[in-house]
Chain A
């Protein structure tokens, strides 16, 4: 018994010792799960010899939580725009040394100097997209132009929406003629009756994989991430993607270097690698979102560029701004509404 225990203890010590003895050339990446293709990571390591430790998160808020808990230090992080804005305000992101990022020139001008990083000193856009309407046109034959057309009694029980409280409130704001960041307490309250009405028609709330329900035919239309809609379109062109007429939220996922980063040179190398046209193309191949890299877009196939979800028509867009504690009111509103279904 004692021998067993001793062996176990030494095993545990050995294991933790292994994890502590790391080679010196590496970069600690903290990114969305499966958002950076393995082949891109392997390609980087092969070319530079720098090892990539890829740690993942499944939501922007989770990312914040883990970063703020301070029990790990990351060199490259991949926050959504509004989280990046909050991080910059809190002084948690390091200013980028742009001379180390020659391929930054590949990024299209409309994705630079965005509201979350107006001086363009802390972040580099990785992938962008929109949150819009996807419709199975084989079942839903009437034209759908915006949120009002989606949430109709005729579609009751056949709708899927993202399980994201802020998103849902934003759509309601749009239908009231307001903008995405008009999040005063009064405006949020004004969305209550609208959402109460909408929720009656929703069958599934799913932020992870709404394409599942759509492909299975358990729902016919919904409000989803453009990437999901793009994948659906690739599976079957019957899935159309529509930018809502009332207004649309555009999200920009960025990469940045935290102030606590320890491998700053390697971090810059990695980010520059991601900005290369052929590497960025590989990312687009895996994730059909909207690529902000102009040089990469020129390498894409006609089919990829024709995907209405990946490259929708241009128009006015809103990105999310950091909202701090307002999220509490939004949370409670949605909880109330779901509670009383």
Chain B
């Protein structure tokens, strides 16, 4: 019996393995680019100079100082709460919206499509100002509610776009099959479509969370002192110099998240093992 047939592609210059290697190298470079300032940020969290402009010496005092800084930690808490709520609401509105747009052709389809794009094509400052004008016109006091409303307004279109991009390649036969088997449209959506949208939901949710967490401009116009988020506080501190305490805070945030994803696999195993499920 002759040996395995060597496919002709092995003799090509750009074998899939080489392409994969090149892509891996490119991705690594991009990740290095993304984490370069993060590395600098971490290093400077140990800078003994309060002005944190020039490196003066090594110290851990800023990490200690964080514990005492009520306002800063309060702002962090606000940011996390706002981001979490924003992501949740955005996922709901964005996903349902994208699905309905895709699934049902109804009058004014074009108009609604255009409507959905509005928060995306408006510059942040216009979103902020228009919402401030709106809230003061209806005499709504600024606070957590207004901040969350503002965040959701510009975050959910990202979820929508991510879900739409995914839906466009979805096999329509999937839903048909579910319906044929007697499922209601809602059940079909929940049990069949939603799981296949998972990557888009994760991508969109991640984007919404990130956008909300680091949002400055819109929050600037729609927040009150009580609901001040971390970016707002940091922006205020820029004038007197960005204290290394802020670097320390960011470092901890990054460290916790990186640790979480590194150990998430272990955590998942733990839960699966505990529940005694298969796999």
CB distance from A290 to the nearest CB of B (A): 17
State which of A54-62, A106-114, A274-282, A314-322 sits at the interface with chain B.
Answer: A54-62
CB distance from B93 to the nearest CB of A (A): 10
Nearest B residue (CB) for A236: B54
- Counting chain A residues whose Cβ lies within 8 A of the other chain, the interface size class is 20 to 34
Contacting B at CB under 8 A, from A208-246, are 208-209, 211-212, 215-216, 231, 235
Chain A 279-319, CB within 8 Å of chain B: the 1/0 string?
00000000100000000000000000000000000000000
B53 touches A34 (CB 8 A): no
Other-chain residue from A16, A53, A56, A72 in contact with B144 (beta carbon distance below 8 A): A16
> Which residues of B are found within 8 Å of A287, using beta-carbon distances?
240
Compute how far the CA of A19 lies from the CA of B140 in the bound complex, rounded to whole angstroms: 13
- Interface: B145 (CB within 8 A): yes
A5 touches B225 (CB 8 A): no
- Interface: A1 (CB within 8 A): yes
Contacting B at CB under 8 A, from A63-83, are 69-72
Q: With A16-B143, A235-B51 given, is the CB distance from A33 to B132 under 8 Å? A: no
Other-chain residue from B71, B88, B142, B238 in contact with A208 (beta carbon distance below 8 A): B238
- Interface: B43 (CB within 8 A): no
Nearest B residue (CB) for A53: B225
> Which residues of A are found within 8 Å of B144, using beta-carbon distances?
12, 15-16, 19
- Interface: A11 (CB within 8 A): yes
- Interface: B273 (CB within 8 A): no
- Interface: A105 (CB within 8 A): no
B226 touches A8 (CB 8 A): no
Instruction: Identify 17 new A-B residue pairs, CB closer than 8 A, beyond the known A28-B225, A208-B238, A215-B53.
Output: A8-B85, A12-B85, A15-B145, A19-B144, A19-B227, A33-B235, A33-B236, A53-B226, A58-B236, A69-B136, A70-B136, A71-B140, A71-B142, A208-B239, A209-B240, A212-B53, A235-B51
User: Which residues does A use to contact B, with CB under 8 Å?
Assistant: 1, 4-5, 8, 11-12, 15-16, 19, 28, 32-34, 38, 53-56, 58, 69-72, 208-209, 211-212, 215-216, 231, 235, 287
Sorted from nearest, which 5 A-B pairs have the closest CB atoms?
A: A33-B236, A55-B225, A71-B136, A16-B145, A215-B53
Report 27 cross-chain contacts, Cβ distance below 8 Å, ordered by A residue. Answer: A4-B92, A8-B89, A12-B144, A12-B145, A15-B145, A16-B145, A19-B144, A19-B224, A19-B226, A32-B239, A33-B235, A33-B236, A34-B239, A34-B240, A38-B71, A53-B226, A55-B225, A69-B132, A70-B136, A71-B132, A71-B139, A71-B141, A209-B239, A209-B241, A212-B53, A235-B51, A287-B240
